[in-house]
Structure 1
């Protein structure tokens, strides 16, 4: 688990989350405690299964999503071989003003498809590393090389407390500081999400 149009408060995940537009140009506090070793990505990602809609369940704090709730990231194939990224969020609650950001992603590691780069403006790309992924592609965890960003994404906006506890336990075991994670308000169900403009 982002930028222009209106870039102020939308998500860059992270997935995604996804997730990431300023990763190349800003240096927020590190969310990893395990030194300088980059987080391990998953061995392989089937991008066609990964595409579609993701809900942001948790994120590390960073300026470009400040105040965002109901955060959604949607990914789709583009004709030029890149991936279209559509991020949406609602400011200060699900009844707040909606913000949308459109970007694009490219594959940085074609051997695994687990490392992507996302851009929401100009030539600037930020890392989007898939560091954990459910076998059925029902959830994913996103970070980047220096562990400065962190998102927990799921296909269901309400995956439940057991799911969250399991992800947090695993992240702590991998050296991430989860104390400051933000858990945005999410939609009660998939059918409750307003249609995109």
Structure 2
């Protein structure tokens, strides 16, 4: 009996701590109320992320390109520049999560295409913050283990980015662990195509000697 009484204060203190933790626990993760996948389609630049093992090889220039498919799914192409300078690319498929009506909760699989119909190997992809003009977005999932800050451009105004981080902090995300993503040495596919066309037009219209040098 005496031993039990001695343990009582510790038990009470522990219960108090658990109650305090629950009081200040972060609220459940919520996706945005509505996502227009047609507007969301296209290329996004990663500005920051929480560290994760499947991007360990990425040194910078991380992009994600989304293309709606005829069956309602979305093709996902992730690219990044590795430390050796080479570009890495992975292709996946996203589908709306069962029961979701907002379009903002997706399941993404990067398994081989002939296995992507399986329910295994599919990760949660929730858009939890979205600019009304679709200039930036934040992607996470229910556990807050993963987090990506995306933008339509390789950079955002400092005040805009800081505002995003402040909102994420209030929502319970470990923003102090965010890693900024270097952007700048990569070129979007559209820009690359435009540069190639301009180079070809110049080469054709230039004097013969310059044409040979250009080609």
TM-score, structure 2 length as denominator?
A: 0.69
Shift of 1:67: 3.9
Shift of 1:110: 4.2
Shift of 1:160: 2.7
Aligned length: 160
* Matching of residue 162 in structure 1 with residue 159 in structure 2: yes
* Matching of residue 96 in structure 1 with residue 68 in structure 2: no
Does the CA-based 8 Å contact 2:26-2:172 persist in structure 1?
Answer: no
Structure 1 vs Structure 2 CA RMSD: 2.1
Shift of 1:47: 1.0
Give 1:86's aligned residue.
77
Give 1:146's aligned residue.
143
Does the CA-based 8 Å contact 1:142-1:150 persist in structure 2?
Answer: yes
Alpha-carbon distance in structure 2 between the residues aligned to 1:160 and 1:73? 20
Alignment of 1:99-178 (within 5 A): 99-108=88-97, 109-121=99-111, 122=115, 123=118, 124-178=121-175
> What's the CA shift string for 1:148-172, capped at 9, x where partnerless?
1001000010113222211111100
Higher relative contact order (CA 8 A, sep 6+): 1
Does the CA-based 8 Å contact 1:157-1:190 persist in structure 2?
Answer: no
Change (3 A) 1:152 1:85: same
Alpha-carbon distance in structure 1 between the residues aligned to 2:192 and 2:89? 12
Alpha-carbon distance in structure 2 between the residues aligned to 1:182 and 1:143? 15
> What's the CA shift string for 1:78-107, capped at 9, x where partnerless?
122210001100012xx7110000000001
Give 2:41's aligned residue.
51
SS of residue in 2 equivalent to 1:84: strand
TM-score, structure 1 length as denominator?
A: 0.75
SS of residue in 2 equivalent to 1:74: strand
- Structure 1 runs of 4+ aligned residues shifted over 3 Å read 34-37, 188-195
> Where do 5+ consecutive residues of structure 1 fail to align?
1-33
Higher helix residue share: 2
Does the CA-based 8 Å contact 1:158-1:188 persist in structure 2?
Answer: no
Shift of 1:111: 1.4
